[in-house]
Structures are given as structure tokens and as C-alpha cells.
Structure 1
Amino acid sequence: MKADGNDKISLWQLFILITIFAIGTAVVVGAGEEARQDYWIAEFIAAIVGVGIVLGYYQLISFAGKKNLYEMLSFSFGKWIGSAIIVLYSLYFFYIASRNIRDFGELMKISILPITPLEVITIVMMFPVMYTVYLGLEVLARVTEIVSPYILGILVLVGVLLFFSGELQFTHLLPILGDGFGPVWEAFFPTLLTFPYGEVIVFTVIMTATTRFSHVGKVGATAIAISGLLITYANVIQIAALGVDLKVRTLFPLMTAAREIMLMEFIERVDILVVFILMTGVFIKVSVFFYAGLKGLEHVFSVPYRKFILPVSTLIPFFAVLNSVNVVEHFEEGLMIVPYVLHLPFQFGIPLLLFFIIWLKKKKKKKSISGGVAS
């Protein structure tokens, strides 16, 4: 299942995709607030580990002879078991896509569309995702190139406007590690480890689609480092603007912080810019997960992935609404259940098992070759 045609992307496009993917919903949706004023420290540590994670995925693909995730699963577990695990990965990617769609729907209902049914918001969001994925990975990468300056610029601008509005109280960041390292660890593992850095597992489907694979490791590590710093920056301004009790005050802290902006009695209500960040971030993340999940079905059933776009795209909004009864349950499920039940096995457990199996197969092959030469 090698990429060709409009499934090929450049290193720069991969860099932009990973950067915006990682920033995506992470800068808007609160996670890891258990660390209170040290929330940003937990995020910074997670970003450092995230660099190691993406390098680990790159090394796994290199060790497997530049096979992507699905090819590694087929090679390691055989046709039937491998196909079953591939389908599970596709379902996992579709599920995470549905959760991201739900994040967007909840923010829209809270901010600008309180009367519009959640079902309508999620269905409408799937239309541009369907069209972009149908056009291919290269088109998705080019769209990301177009929107990335706006996402990054708005993120920086919100912090600058908060500073000049006098809303940032950096004393909220003190005392550093006042409660010890325990709350930082609680925020880091597994929540911040798996979201968004562990989610980069989806790029093990895409990394081999680049034009110069040998540079993918450095490109991916740089992208995660930059996105990690930007997420940490967002965390700092959230705490400085709102205080340490983010969980109590809001589910979308960056948007709430942006509402505090007021300059010259003219510049205010810039929270709509944060809505734009989440809207475009969700679009990119859902498209990447959707594409990767469809490629898994393509690998198993030997049918072009575009054939699956319409039926699967009708299910994602459905499960986005069905996942939970309300927004509180949605976030509790995402922070308390999903990291342990889904994220850790799919992001780390199976890749580690793949490495071990491929290592055994290589060792066995090397031994058989050396035995044949000796005889």
C-alpha cells in the first residue's frame, strides 16, 4: 500500500500537518488541569516526551524496512490476525475522529450556535472533511499549509492582546511545584502523554508517503517540539488570565480567556478567533484520522479507500452524538476512560509488540541465512 500520485506529500507538508494536528484541539480543549498552576510544566514535559514518541515511531518504521503501520501488522501477525488488528486501528481512528467532531460541536453550541442541534453541526462539519479526503492526502496537506498561518497567528495574537489588556496575572503561576511533583505526574500520565502526542500514531500510516523518508524523523521531532511549545504557551496564558481552577470555571479555557480581552473600548469579544482555531484544527485532525482509518480498510479489503468515504462518514457524526449524553460526560469519558482503554494499547502497547516481533523475525532470518551459509 505505497503512496503515489496525490497520496505523496513533501517533508514541509508533513511538518505542517503534524504541527497543526498536534495543536489542533489541544490548545482549546482543557486537559491536565489537575496540576493547577503547574499545568504548563506537565505540558512541557509531555512535549519533550512527545518528541521521543515521534522519533520512536520513525525508528519503528525504519526498522521494519519502511513499512507503514498496516503493512507492519500484516507482516508481523499474518493475514488474518493482522487484518483484524488493522480493522481495530481503523475503528480507533474513526472513534477519535468522532470525539473531535463532538468537541467542535460542543464549542459551537456554547459560543455561537446555542439553539442549533448538535446533530446538524456534526453532520455539516463532515462535508468538507469528506471532500478533502476524497481529493487525497496531498490536497489535505495543501489545505493545512493555507490555514496554518492563521491558526499560529491567532494563537500568538490572543496572548499578546491579553497581555496588553492587563488580564495576565503571572502570579497565578506561583508557587512553582508548590504541591510537589505528584499533581504534575497525574496530569502528564496518561492524559497529556496520549493527547495529543500519542495520537501521532496515526502518522505511521502517512510517514511513508513522503518524498524523502530519511528526513522524516527530524521533521516530525521538530514539528512536535514547536507544537509543544505553542501548547505550553497557550497553557501559560490560560492560567495567567483565569487562575488555577480552570476545570471549575470552563471546559474551553482559551476561549474563556479570550473573552476577557478589551482594548481601547474597541477590541473585544475576540473569542470568535478561538472558535476559528478549533474549527480548523478539528477539520485537520478529523481529516487525518478519517484518511488513515479509510486506508486501513483499503489495506484489508483491497478496495480503493474512496469507496468507503460515504458509508463511514455517515457513522462518524452519529457516534459523535451517541458517545455521551452531555458535554460533561463527554469530557469525563475522554479524560478518565479513553486514555487507559484505547490510547495506551493502540498508541504504545501494539507498537512495542510490533517492534519485538519484527526483531524476532529478523533474528530468526539472520540465523537461518548464517546456518545455510555454514552448511
Structure 2
Amino acid sequence: MEKAKIKASQLFILVVLFEMGSALLFIPGFQAKQDAWLAILLGLAGGLALVLIYYRLYTYYPDLPFTSYVQEITGKWIGRLLSLLYIIYFMYFATRVLRDFGELLTTTIYFNTPLIVINSLMMLTIIYGVHKGIEVIARMGELLFGVIYLMAFAGAGLILFSGIIHLEYLQPVLEHGWRPIFIAFLRETSARPFGEMVVFCMLLPYLNDQKKAKAACLGGIILAGINVAITAAINVATLGVDLFLRSNFPLLTTIGKIQLANFIERLDVLFIIYLVIAGYFKISLFFYAAVIGATDLFKFKTHQKLSFPFGLIILFASITIASNYAEHLKEGLETVPIYVQWPFQIIIPFILLVIAFFRNRKKQITSS
């Protein structure tokens, strides 16, 4: 592993930026319609339980990354296979998020710019950050966290004062009962974005104070979850259910409706700046987890040797992962949650925790 340490406050900021990342680009839980915010809060509750699972695994092996202690838990060969699959998982999601943000930029402001150009420019900056290491990424998070929240408060204030919010669009609450909310929870919000916290299983060993890991992770996911739920409610209250469901980028559409005093309008740039920053951190952490996982699994001396080749793989995969945006979106909403997110974010970590519990219990009994 890289010889680096980050503070609990930096971990907290990284969790918030990572969780909010693409969750504000594609609001999760839209199947629940005007109750999407409730589905997100239910997903947050499930996410907190998942964080406790990841944290408990970390307490058993506080000095090891996930790719190392999975071999301790399941044995050498099964553990190596699982480690390799998780490295592919991290790279796959870095690829998907890069494609998400590339599509956003090419369909909103860079209409005549090829997707490969946008993704290449973003990937070059990410490769540089990953090459420098987790400390540099964490310090950048500290620097830009205030900028993001300043833009968020400014945007929320302008939406409120522009009078475009219609609270009646949020009614009736629970129009079809809890069933649509539970369906949205099972299909999406249980895994996205909260289950993606599994990436921090690779990062927690870098924390300089192990006792603060739980508070930093739980606090970060709670703040991010509340922000996403509020954003979903604002989108529905501004756009109405029909437009909210039809819009590719609901928050962008909401901000586009801001018009104050016939002077303040066309504030889409605020949203774009935020998403470029949030996308940078989301892709960087997935990418970094894949790089240090491969470094650990294949016993490289330093992670820098893998940052550029892995970055190229992610870049070209982001172009070829889908032939068009509709196909990319359909895969992300229908296939990925069931066949990728549920196994890697929920099922496998839970099984690992059960095995680790009995293994460590046996060791304690033997030592006593």
C-alpha cells in the first residue's frame, strides 16, 4: 500500500463528495415518483447498515485493504479470485461514471465535441491525481468542499426566491402505499449510491485515527443522503412528476427554470461546475481503489506504475461500454443493480462478515 495517511475530516469530505457524485446527476428512486425522496431515505437507512458491515470488517483487519483481508477470510485462491473481481468492479464503475459525465457535457454545452475528447481531458486530470496518491486527492477534497456547498446554498436560495417550487406536486404522499417505495429501494436506492461505500473498504487503512472511521463514514453518508433526498424533493416540486420522470438530468432542468428579476437566469453553469468536481472525486476513488487493489494483489512495489495503463483502459471502455446514451442508461438501471451492485455491495460483504466473525471467534477461543 501507498505510505500515506488521511485525517478523519478528510475521510468525511471524501464520503460526502463520493456519495453525492452522480446521485444528483441521475436522482435514484424515480420509480417511486413523487415519493422518490422517501425511497432515498429508506435507501439511506439500508446504507447505514451496509456501512456498519464494512466497518466491522475493517475492525477485524484494520491495517489491510479489502483485497488483502478477503484472502485472509476465504483462503488464498478464492480470496484472489474475489479480489480480482472487485478490481474489475471498481474499474467498471469508474468507466460508467466517466461515461455519465461525458454524456452530460456533450448533450448540454459541448454539442459538437466528440465524447472521446471530453472523457480524455477529464481522465488526464484524474490519472494525475491518482498518480500523486490519496493524500493529494483528500486535500483537493478539502479545498473544493466549501466551493461545492457555496454553490449548493446559492442554487437552493435562488430556486426558493424564484417561486418555481410547487409543494402540491409532492402530493399525495404515499399515493400507492409503500409498495412502489420498497420496489425503488430494492431495485436502486439500496445499492445506489449508498452501497457504493464498499469502495472505502480499500481506503480505510489510510486513516490516521482508526477510532474515528465509524463516525466519519456514518456522518458523511447521512449528510450526503439527506442532500440527495432534499434535491429529489426540490426536483419533483419544481418540475412535477411527469417532467421529473422524462428528464435525463432533472437537476439541470430545475436550475434552468430559475429566473429572478428578469436578470438572474441561465445558471446551468453552476450545476455543470458542481458535477465536474463531484464526478472527478467519484471516478478518482473508484479508479484509485482499482489501482491499489491490483498493486496489492499482484505485489507491485508502487501504485504509480498502474495509474496510466488503468486510466487508458477506463477511458476507452467508457467509449465502448454502450453504443449510445439510451443503451448506457438502460443497462445502468435494469442490469447493473441486480447482477453487479447487489452481489458486490451487499451479498458478498455480508457473507465475508459472517465468515470473519466465526474465524475470529475461533481464534479468541483458541488463544484463551
> Aligned pair 1:224/2:238, yes or no?
no
Native 8 Å contact 1:72 1:354 kept in 2? no
The corresponding residue for 2:310 is 312
Query: What do residues 102-134 of structure 1 show as CA deviations (whole Å, max 9, x unaligned)?
Result: 110111011100111111111111011000111
- Shift of the alpha carbon at 1:219? 1.3
1:342 aligned to 2:340? yes
**Corresponding letter in the other structure for 2:286:** F
The answer as to 2:342 corresponding to 1:354 is no
**Aligned AA (1:186):** I
Q: Which runs of 4+ in 1 moved over 6 A?
A: none
Aligned partner of 1:200 among 194, 197, 200 = 197
CA distance in 2 between partners of 1:177 and 1:262 (Å): 31
RMSD, aligned α-carbons: 1.5
- The aligned residue for residue 143 of structure 2 is 146
Structure 2 equivalent of residue 63 of structure 1: 60
Q: Which residue of 1 aligns with 2:28?
A: 31
Task: Name the amino acid aligned to 1:170.
Answer: L
Residue 359 of structure 1 and its aligned partner are, at CA, apart by 2.3
TM-score (norm 1): 0.94
Query: What's the secondary structure of 2:231's corresponding residue?
Result: helix
TM-score norm. by structure 2 comes to 0.96
Q: 1:185: which partner in 2? A: 182
* Cα drift, residue 162 of structure 1: 1.4
Distance, in Å, in 1 between the alignment partners of 2:45 and 2:315 is: 34
Aligned residues of 2:8 and 2:213 also touching (Cα < 8 A): yes
Counterpart of 1:373 in structure 2 is none
Equivalent runs, 1:38-187 vs 2, <5 Å: 38-64=35-61, 66-187=63-184
Q: Structure 2: where are the runs of 5+ without partners?
A: none
For 2:118 and 2:106, locate their aligned partners in 1 and report how far apart those are by CA, in whole Å: 9
SS at 1:243's partner residue? helix
CA deviation after TM superposition for structure 1 residue 193, in Å: 1.3
> What is the CA-CA distance between 1:154 and the residue it aligns to?
1.8
- Is the contact made by 2:13 and 2:220 (CA closer than 8 Å) also made in structure 1? yes
Give the total of aligned pairs.
367
Q: Provide structure 1 residue ranges, at least 5 long, that are not aligned to the other structure.
A: 371-375
Separation (CA, whole Å) in 2 of partners of 1:15 and 1:273: 23
State the identity as a percent. 35
Paired with 1:189 and 1:246, the residues of 2 have a C-alpha distance of 24
Structure 1 SS opposite 2:241: coil
Structure 2 matches for 1:236-315, cutoff 5 A? 236-246=233-243, 248-303=245-300, 304-315=302-313
Most deviating of 302-311 and 51-60? 51-60
Change (3 A) 1:334 1:246: farther
